[in-house]
Amino acid sequence: MKYYFIAGEASGDLHAANLIKELVKKDSNAELKGFGGDLMEQAGMKLTKHYKEMAFMGFIPVLMNLRTIKKNFKTCEEDLLNFKPDVVVLVDYPGFNLRMAEFAKKHGIRVYYYISPKIWAWKKHRIKKIRAFVDELFTILPFETEFYKGLGVEVNYVGNPVLDAILSKLKPVNFDSFVQTNALEKKPVIALLPGSRLQEIKTLLPIMLKAAEDFKDYQLVVTAAPNIDQTVYDQILKGYHVKLLKGVTYEVLQHAKAAILASGTVSLEAGVIRTPQIVCYKMAGGFIFHLIGRLLIKIQWASLVNLILNREAVKEFIQIYCTSTNIRQELKLILEDKNHRKNILASYDELHEKLGKTGASERAAVAMLNKLSQNY
């Protein structure tokens, strides 16, 4: 069968790549093409456009890049019609993907959505497009599965692919080897993970650095996103005694005593790896966007750890609360208060229980192939 994938950011590239690997194992005649990243290409997909040309987030960056975004839509539409796939597999990235779902559906192409849009957080009105243009929805979180069912949408719950992605890559913990391999100091690590989008990094990393700079008994390690140019980090890190590492995010989290990170998939990854964390997020616009967010966002928490556990297991600092002072105070508690740290780790035990078993990528591939076979 012919599959057309669309993923628009690093986490989508990772999980789509694992799904592609499973599809290729089970469908010897699989032909794959689409928008994505290096990992999807390595897994066997012919890459039309890299997600680094698509990752625009926030009102201002989107407005500034409207011409590029429109060009990306046109390229994708033409490529889709030329390839004539049996199915389009959309991976998260709803702003782009829901429009492509409508286009594909109008041209008689089946549409599967893997890692479904987070309409439980905001833009609930998107349920109309999902009902109209998506043939099968594959969910990865228990609470979102119940959410969609409550709206009368049948879903295929396959479990969370983060478990597969992490557990297949984790290495035995050996701090001395980690230090030597990455030219680090023999000090405990505070990890800073400011996200994978340019605007996130420019906004969050300076706040994270200021929050952590006073902990002199620790070394600061920043994880770099694969799609961001080195010069971006060099400019922000100038004047700080910090180590920048690329391609070893999971190892950094394994060895970190604490992590300050951007809200997103990485929060769940840190929870699975059992790294005490502080979640933060801030968009340009400050107080105005804070007020808009309170009106539009319909969930109590931002981090996936807290959403899955339905309580504040890890501390969040969002928008106007995302300050170096607030982050520093929580970081001090994590590093110095044994009971506080113990409570976070106990929450991670509960998180593992709720996430269940590994094998989500394989289950998703099997479910997709079964659904496709019913239509032929």
Does the structure show a pLDDT above 70 at 376? Answer: no
Determine the pLDDT at residue 289.
43
Confidence of residue 57 (pLDDT cuts 50, 70, 90): low
Look-up of token digits 């590093």: 335
Question: CB under 8 Å to 353, separation ≥6 — which residues?
Answer: none
Determine the pLDDT at residue 58.
53
Does the structure show a pLDDT above 70 at 259? Answer: yes
Query: Of 191, 343, 199, 333, whose CA–CA distance to 261 is shortest?
Result: 191
Q: Name the more confident of 374 and 213.
A: 213
Partners of residue 277 on adjacent β-strands = 259
- Separation CA 135–CA 149 (nearest Å): 15
CB atoms closer than 10 angstroms to residue 23: 25
Helices (H), 187-264: 198-212, 230-237, 249-255
Question: Half-sphere exposure (CA, 13 Å, Cβ side) for 366?
Answer: 8
**How much is the average pLDDT of 146-168?**
88
What residue type is 275 in one-letter code?
T
What residue type is 121 in one-letter code?
A
Query: Of 47, 100, 25, whose CA–CA distance to 69 is shortest?
Result: 100
What are 124-148's pLDDT values in tens digits? 889 999 999 999 999 998 888 888 9
Complete domains list, the chain, with CATH: 2-159+359-373 (3.40.50.2000), 167-355 (3.40.50.2000)
Determine the pLDDT at residue 286.
46
Does the structure show a pLDDT above 60 at 66? Answer: yes
